[in-house]
Amino acid sequence: MQTSFLLAVGASFILAGFVKGVVGLGLPTVAMGMLSLVMPPVQAAALLIVPSMVTNLWQLAAGPGLASLLRRLWPLLAWSMTGTLLGGALLPRDSGAWAVVALGVALMAYALAGLCSLRLNVALRHERWLAPLVGALTGLVTAATGVFVIPAVPYLQGLGLKRDELVQALGMAFTASTMALAASLALLGDFHLGDARASAWALLPALAGMLAGQWLRGRIAPELFKKCFFAGLFALGLHSVAKAWLG
């Protein structure tokens, strides 16, 4: 690979890890958005597998109530994984403009939700039917774009979980989506041993960025950082859409 390409990949994962270290999420979203500037989304998704899996398992293990959250969230997790596998099998398999546009739209939707401080209020009585629907939709978006935040993140934020529980729930949802994405890519022949090695290499800059973000988290205004993060994410998504449409 060219040195400039490797530097671009490394910088993308440092930035993505940094964002996750500060706000507790955003690694796959930022990485997919940045990497899509230099490679097809399916190749970016393959590079994402190991860094996303390791950092989300780290986040998952740090929470207080794994068993109780798993009992509550298993329909969301199961349908998210199912939707990812079905989406991978049914959606068009190419790296054309539609994939870049879908990624850009997903990034902009997530950014707008953050900028507008969108907060759902999910009543307990609605979780039984809403969790499978949100999970399936999240899976389809994951299969199409490699991004697994819409609509799972707004849904989880609307469950009224405590801060530590929410962080752990996000780690749980992202871990399930990463596992399903890896399985989908492997079944379709888009994730090989060479991809796994490259993805493992990408873990190093991701962890470096994450540690730097965690160090800085208590030294900056988190709300201001989130606004800047979402504004940058929206611009990145808009650039992806414009680039795909205008050629």
Q: In the Cβ-directed half-sphere of 43, how many Cα atoms lie within 13 Å?
A: 12
The whole-angstrom separation of Cα 144 and Cα 73 is: 23
Percent of the residues in the chain that have a pLDDT greater than 70, as a whole number: 95
In the chain, which ranges are continuous DSSP H helix? 3-23, 27-35, 41-61, 66-90, 97-115, 127-145, 152-157, 163-187, 193-217, 222-246
Q: CA dist 215 to 135, 209, 247, Å?
A: 33, 10, 40
| 16, 31 contact by CB (below 8 A) | yes
The whole-angstrom separation of Cα 33 and Cα 52 is: 14
pLDDT at 60: 77
The whole-angstrom separation of Cα 49 and Cα 23 is: 20
Pair of tokens at residue 7: 């530097």
Q: Give which of 35, 15, 36 is closest to 26, Cα–Cα.
A: 15
Q: Give which of 122, 31, 32, 131 is closest to 80, Cα–Cα.
A: 131
pLDDT at 2: 72
Q: Is the pLDDT of residue 226 over 60?
A: yes
Q: Is the pLDDT of residue 1 over 70?
A: no
37 vs 246: which has the higher pLDDT: 37
85 vs 45: which has the higher pLDDT: 85
pLDDT at 96: 61
Domain coverage including residue 41? 3-246
pLDDT at 176: 93
How many structural domains are present in the chain?
Answer: 1
The whole-angstrom separation of Cα 42 and Cα 204 is: 21
Average predicted confidence (pLDDT) for the chain:
85
pLDDT at 63: 64
pLDDT tens-digit map of 161-195: 887 788 888 889 999 999 999 999 998 887 887 88
Long-range contacts formed by 88-94: CB under 8 A, 24+ apart: 88/143, 88/181, 88/184, 88/185, 88/187, 88/188, 89/184, 89/187, 89/188, 91/140, 91/143, 91/144, 93/188
The model's pTM is 0.84
pLDDT tens-digit map of 92-138: 665 567 777 888 888 888 888 888 877 788 888 899 999 999 999 99
pLDDT at 202: 92
Q: What average pLDDT does the segment 11-22 reach?
A: 88
Q: What average pLDDT does the segment 146-175 reach?
A: 87
